[in-house]
Amino acid sequence: MSGGAMASGDWIGAALAAARPQAVAALLRRFRDLDLAEEAFQEACLKALKHWPDNGPPRDPAAWLIFVGRNVAVDAVRKRSREQELSDEDALSDREDAEAAAAERIDGANYRDDVLRLLFVCCHPDLPSTQQIALALRIVSGLSVRQIARAFLVGESAMEQRITRAKAKIARAGVPFEVPGAVERAERLAAVAAMLYLVFNEGYSAQGTEADERAKLADEAIRLTRILLRLFPTEPEIMGLTALMLLQHARAASRFDADGAVVLLEDQDRSRWNRPMIAEGLALIDKAIRHRRPGPYQVQAAIAGLHARAARPEQTDWSGIDALYATLEIMQPSPVVTLNRAVATWKVAGAEQALAMIEPLAARLDGYFHFHGLRGGLLMRLGRTADAREAFGRAIALAGTAAEAAHIRAHLDRLTEAAGA
């Protein structure tokens, strides 16, 4: 590695980020104290920033950080424990196996369970989803409180309090740090997957001025889900979740125009879609299907896959998408799933049938922007202009962003132009 590249520090930041889940998880298992594990890791990172530029990267950065972090933690608790302080990391050689051997004694073959345990702690069922997400981004991802606060459009002190409350609740709950049994593991794995998808959607749905800051969350969710996939390489739902994120994120560059306005899927410039990301997502779907254990993430990924396979909008397999949404309605019944299916039904069977499908959802989705937007579009197709105007007006009132409101106003402008023709 050249001196210039080494001086940039980029490789150090990447190495620390990659090692964080394993190192923090191993320290958590060893000391059973979330704050202590995090503080020990941060101190180890500071020592890495001091020593690695001159000495070069260790062969196993995670092992080095675990060893040094253990040193730091032991030193912090030595007055109330009988453990002796270990030698300073200066005595270690990156060319020898001292730190790797010590880390192996700490970490052993427990990487999979350590990282999973760390994710389970962050997704403890006593925590609301907002605290789960904040804690995972802080502890597992290492995002600063300021970064997390900006992403969720809250004050830094408020986010600090949210994370502190989450840690306190975990401490009061006496969360066990042992590996859970098979049944609990399956339940908690589902919670971890749901949390990661929430993180992804927070980034993927970002629009307007906060888009740049929040979009990073989608990248981080994909990184964490890849870790989960490495831990469970034969779990088809984790393959499906990873594929779903990749296929959706592959369209990121084409989802908004230069002015920040929403570009619908059928109007997007498909040459700007990330083809390598799409190829990876499609391969994961195919691999998951071979396990013959279908689940909601796999079905959603398959829907995204059918969109991705279409070189042009008119080549989209809407019948296949309609059938997949019908399957998802059985697996995960929800008015939003039915609303999404109605779009496919519209393409297959026409606006009248799609409108009949969503009308019974009016009471449950009256406060949902997309319901009124779709309903207005269907009514406009059917020539019911007055009703369409009313639906579009309701959608604008519910719009969460200026981009959403502008998209609906464009429909209203077309109605006005048609009326004046």
146: three-class secondary structure by DSSP: helix
Q: How confident is the model at residue 369 (pLDDT cuts 50, 70, 90)?
A: very high
Question: Is the per-residue pLDDT at 352 higher than 60?
Answer: yes
Per-residue tokens: 217: 């969350």
- Residues with Cβ within 8 Å of residue 84, at least 6 apart in sequence: 74, 78
pLDDT recorded at residue 405 = 87
Q: Burial code of 156-178, b = ≥16 C-beta within 10 A, e = fewer?
A: eeebbebbeebbebbeeeeeebe
**pLDDT per position as a tens digit, 279-305:** 999 999 999 999 999 999 999 999 999
Angle at the Cα of 180 from the Cα atoms of 176 and 185, rounded to 5 degrees: 130
pLDDT recorded at residue 230 = 87
pTM for this entry: 0.78
pLDDT recorded at residue 93 = 41
Residue type, 312: R
252 in Cβ contact with 218 (< 8 Å): yes
Q: Report the largest interatomic distance among the alpha carbons of the chain, rounded to a whole angstrom.
A: 88
pLDDT recorded at residue 83 = 44
pLDDT recorded at residue 296 = 97
pLDDT recorded at residue 346 = 97
Question: Is the per-residue pLDDT at 3 higher than 60?
Answer: no
Cα(235)–Cα(21) distance, integer angstroms: 20
Nearest to 26 by CA among 67, 77, 72: 67
Question: Is the per-residue pLDDT at 168 higher than 80?
Answer: yes
Angle at the Cα of 312 from the Cα atoms of 311 and 317, rounded to 5 degrees: 85
Question: Is the per-residue pLDDT at 317 higher than 50?
Answer: yes
Cα(357)–Cα(220) distance, integer angstroms: 37
Q: How confident is the model at residue 210 (pLDDT cuts 50, 70, 90)?
A: low
Question: Is the per-residue pLDDT at 178 higher than 70?
Answer: no
Per-residue tokens: 17: 């980020």
pLDDT recorded at residue 4 = 44
263: three-class secondary structure by DSSP: coil
**pLDDT per position as a tens digit, 383-417:** 999 999 999 999 999 987 787 888 888 888 887 76
Mean model confidence pLDDT for the chain:
84
Q: How confident is the model at residue 361 (pLDDT cuts 50, 70, 90)?
A: very high
**Residue of higher predicted confidence among 81 and 96:** 81
Alpha-helical segments (H) within 108-263: 111-122, 129-139, 145-151, 156-173, 182-204, 211-231, 236-249
Cα(352)–Cα(329) distance, integer angstroms: 20
DSSP 307-374: HHH-SSGGG--HHHHHHHHHHHHHHS--HHHHHHHHHHHHHHH-HHHHHHHHGGGTTTTTT-HHHHHH
Nearest to 153 by CA among 211, 197, 195: 211
